[in-house]
Amino acid sequence: MSVWNSGSASGGGASSKVTIPSLVAQKAQGHKISAVTAYDVSAGRLADEAGLDVVLVGDSLAMTMLGHENTLSVTMDEMLMLTRAVRRGVKRALLVADMPYGSYQMDEGDGVKNALRFIKEAGAEAVKLEGGRARAELVRRLVEAEIPVMGHIGLTPQAVNRMGGYKVQARTQEAVEKIQEDAHLLSGAGCFAVVLEGIPREVAAQLTAELTVPTIGIGAGPECDGQILVWHDLLGINAGGAKFVRRFAEVGSVVREALEQYRVEVEAGTFPNDAESYHLPRAVRPLAGAF
């Protein structure tokens, strides 16, 4: 079969494979982009079945899956393993992998090598990295190596120590001008989309109007070309959450109730019952006595 027939460059249908060109086309058509993080095969499959456009294997898995306080501790090996798992569940959505802290900050050559691993070993179709002007040259090198790049500016969790916590960014005139320049530098370097996190709605709206590539918001208001949320936040698995998080379900409470009911029935001896048990054939008798 010819590779020319193996995918579609146009978005808008749940059966069409989402590609870099189709995401850019969605912006031009005014069709919002839906994105979510996922960390295992089941989550990837469910997101795909729900028709989401982008599935991101986020370094947020350091917190949601591994119990760390922030994203800084997750390793390349951990990110690669879980990206491979999500890949097995995702067929239609564009699969993007977060480059973890330390995998690209020190040396651009290492950054290219590590990004290549996500494509070659884990099946990602693009990588995401954090930072603005400091990452522009690396973005150019990645694009030259045929690796699509999603940028990420504003509140960048890998810079949590420098920022002094998870705080809304771009709240002064100087900061607004800086993030505007960063966005244009990333777009000019070849990013196919830019995540805007934790910035005022008005700033995100202006950037969305100025950039030719899609903006994906998280805590950046409704004017962005698309939105992304963390799996555990969206489903109500995590306790609490930031102002911008909408809990579309309360899966955490459902799971807790199911586990509590399971415990009660095990303790009461009502699980498993006879219908949930296997039986010997009529001609076979149970063992009696000791050997």
Query: Which residue type does 234 have?
Result: L
Distance from C-alpha of 48 to C-alpha of 65, rounded to nearest angstrom: 20
Candidate list 197, 257, 260, 276, residue with the active-site label: 197
Cβ neighbours around 123 below 10 Å, total:
16
Q: Counting Cβ atoms within 10 Å, is residue 268 exposed (0-12), middle (13-18) or buried (19+)?
A: exposed
Tokens of residue 216, six digits: 């994906």
Q: For 12-148, where are the E strands, in sequence order?
A: 33-37, 54-57, 94-98, 126-128
* Percent of the chain as helix, strand, coil, to the nearest 5: 40, 15, 45
Distance from C-alpha of 85 to C-alpha of 145, rounded to nearest angstrom: 25
Could you identify the residue written with the tokens 């996190």?
Answer: 197
Distance from C-alpha of 214 to C-alpha of 208, rounded to nearest angstrom: 7
276 is catalytic: no
SS3 105: coil
Annotated catalytic residues are 197
